[in-house]
Every structure is written in C-alpha cells, then in structure tokens.
Amino acid sequence: MNKNYDVIVVGAGTSGMMAAITAAQQGARVLLIEKNKKIGKKLLLTGGGRCNVTNNRPVDDLVAHIPGNGKFLYSTFSQFNNFDVMTFFNDLGVALKEEDHGRMFPVTDKSKTIVEALLNTINEQEVTLLTNTVVTKLIHDGQQIRGVRTELEEFSAPSVILTTGGRTYPSTGSTGDGYKMAKKVGHTITPLYPTESPLISEDEFIQARTLQGISLQDIDLTVLNAQRKPVVTHTMDLLFTHFGVSGPAALRCSSFVNIALKDGPVSVVIDSYPQQTIAALTASLQEAAQSKKQLNNALSGFLPERLMTFFIDRLGLSEMIAEKVPLDGLIALATLMKGFEINIVRTFPIEKSFVTGGGIHLKEINPKTMESKKINGLYFAGELIDINGYTGGFNITAAFCTGHVSGKNAAETASYFAY
C-alpha cells in the first residue's frame, strides 16, 4: 500500500468524509483512515436514523443555533454553508426535503442514502479508504506535520486533517482520541462536557414517576442559575421521563444547565402557556370553572390530565367543585401553569449525550482555513473543536462545512510541497 499522500484525513465521520472528498476534488492524493469497519456510523444515527443532513435557515440563524462558539464559524460559512451542503447532495442526485424547524432530511427518510452517496463520491474521487485502522499518533517535527502513525505502520503527508469527533456515543468510534493526539502536539483542550442531553432531577414527583410519559408541546423552558437568574429560554416540546425531562426543549437547555451547575444549584421552569399572561390565563380558567364539576374535570383540555391533576393536588384544590374555587386559587393555578419549577442535579453523562461541549481551543485554530496555529499543515474539523450546536442539523452542518474548508486548504497547502 502507498505510504505517501498529499492529505491524510483521520476519522471518516461527518466532517472527515467531507474533508476527504473536498481535498480530492482539489486534485490531492488523499488517504482517509477510519477505525471502524464502516464509515459514517454516527451520522447514520442522527435524526432518528433518517439523517438530519442540514438545516434550511439563514446563516445568522445557524450561528444563533450553535451556542458553543458559533460565531467562530462565520468565516467557514462564508466559504461553504448549509445551502452549499444542500447543493452538494442535490448534485449527487440525493433529493432532500424540509421538515419542522428547518430540518433537512433525504426524501428516502434513510440515513443510508446520505452515507452511501458520500461513500460513492469518496470512491469516485479515488480517495484511498483505510478502515479498521486506528491512528495513534501525529508525526511532526515541532513545526510541520509529517504524517500519522497507526497501530501497525506510518503514512506521510504534508497535510493532516484531524476529524475524530467528540466523546459522545463512543460505540460509533468517537472515543476522544483526537483530543489526546492534539494535546500531545501542544494544543489546549477546553473542558469537555455533555450537551444536547436529557436533564436529571431528584425531585420527589420525578422519583415517584408521577408525570412520566407526559409530553408538552411548544412550552417555554427556562434555565435558572444559582442566583435564580434566567440564563436561557427555549420554546419547544418537552417530555417527562422516569429520570427527569427530555425532548427538544430539555436538550437545548442542557449545555446551559451544565455550565450553570458549576456555580451551584440549577432549576428549570416550565411555562405551559407562554403566549398568555397570568391574568389572561386566570380569566380563561375562571370562565371554565363556572361549573358544578370537580375542578380537574372542569379544566380538562388546559393541560394533559395527569399534569393538571398534579397541579391541582399540589395547590390543595383537588376535592373542590370548580365554581367554589376562590379567585386566588385560580391565580395560583395559572401561576403554577406558567412557572412550574424543577430542580436539576445533572444531565446524562457525556457518553450518553448527543454532542460534546468543549474541545480544541479556538484561539489555536485559524478560522479561515481550520489550520492549527501550532503545527503547520495540521487541520481540524467537526465536533473535535470547541464548538457545539443544537440538534436539528446544526452540528452536522458545522461538521460538513468545517470539513469542506479544512479539506480545501489542506489540499492547497499540500500542493506547495509538490514543487
């Protein structure tokens, strides 16, 4: 097997596949090394197995949906963005469709369609693909990258792109090898933490599983920090589980929860009626309570039945006939419906979360090229760097786009060595 290449890409995940294709399209001889037997294992899992390939939002929105240092990507997105990702797949004959919140999927509803299209392109571009092979070390002379070492042999190239991913779902191959390799060559790794992760509570009603299985649509979920200041609010769906809360609103709040937990206790507050004031909601409750039924029956339809019963019990109104409930009881109920607080003790661990927060320090990466500022010819892309976005295609977009930019520049750097 040939040992000399222009560009070596380490990790055939979302960003690595795109990096390898782009470098090859620039004319580089590319080696793509993957530790798994198959490529794109994590990408196959996304969007519930349908591959949330990107998001159809303007670039400013993309950045806003990447709370972990999204602004660093402005330069990347000016070169290659979500619309380019869509064009890329359309040009490969993969039709995409838009769903809620701008999420884009292949019309086949199968992740395989996306990974197969990438694999076919990798083959067409004559990228050398080496699977079942673990890269263990970056070879360099202190200034310039020279290649990589695997468990068995060495390969050389003037450009190496590290795309080994984060530390979530290690069964997909992302076990954090890239952090260690980057650290060894002098890079700083900012603390890693779980993001896009369900929230765990030890509140009594959670442990008693009172609300397990209830889902709420388009609620506001707000994170309160130790000073009880609101840190962030997300309007999305929420699910009560046996351990706490999950669903899109909880996942989106999770990175803020983990950051806030460093300073003390954290809670989340559910506003089930974000479009109404307490006064307006009280008025609606008052109208519905003009009834001789028990309060929870009179108010059925305002909330899932078990949640309403739970609130009514909590306020000591459970045995009451609706029309007998005093106004301050209804005000208290409206207040609880708009401000139900749950204490959060932690999120799921990083291995069971969707996205890794933290990573290679961005000050050490050139945002225009994705090249290391410490070792010439070393590039980074994907979740490995200190960037994290919301699920909904934002991480995948960041990975594809940084993959493209690193691939293009790595090929250009390598071309100087050809003379």
Q: Does 338 bind ligand FAD (CB under 6 A)?
A: no
- Residue 392 as a binder of ligand FAD (CB under 6 A): the answer is yes
- Select from 121, 168, 369, 372 the one that contacts ligand FAD (CB under 6 A): 168
- Select from 8, 21, 47, 358 the one that contacts ligand FAD (CB under 6 A): 47
How many beta carbons lie within 10 A of that of residue 363, not counting itself?
10
Name the segment binding ligand FAD (CB under 6 A); options: 137-145, 163-171, 289-297, 300-308. 163-171
Query: For ligand FAD, which stretch binds (CB under 6 A), given 66-74, 92-100, 317-325, 394-402?
Result: 394-402
Is residue 407 at the binding interface for ligand FAD, with CB under 6 A as the rule? no
Cα(186)–Cα(320) distance, integer angstroms: 68
Q: CB of 402: closest distance to ligand FAD in angstroms? A: 8
Q: Binding of ligand FAD at residue 355 (CB under 6 A)?
A: yes
Q: Which residues 15-44 are close enough to bind ligand FAD by CB under 6 A?
A: 15-16, 33-36, 41-43
Q: How far is the CB of 198 from ligand FAD (least distance, A)?
A: 12
393 binds ligand FAD (CB under 6 A): yes
Query: Among residues 271 and 383, whose Cβ is nearest to ligand FAD?
Result: 383
Contact (Cβ atoms closer than 8 angstroms) between residue 224 and residue 269: yes
Q: 81, 159, 164, 309: which one contacts ligand FAD (CB under 6 A)?
A: 164
Nearer to ligand FAD, 135 or 270 (CB): 135
Q: Which of residues 86-145 bind ligand FAD (CB under 6 A)?
A: 134-135
For ligand FAD, the closer of residues 19 and 200 by Cβ is: 19
Report the residue number, 52 or 201, with the smaller CB distance to ligand FAD: 52
6 binds ligand FAD (CB under 6 A): no
Residue 177 touches ligand FAD, criterion: CB under 6 A: yes
Residues near ligand FAD, by CB under 6 A: 10-16, 33-36, 41-43, 45-47, 52, 134-135, 163-165, 168-169, 172-174, 177, 354-355, 382-384, 389, 391-396, 399
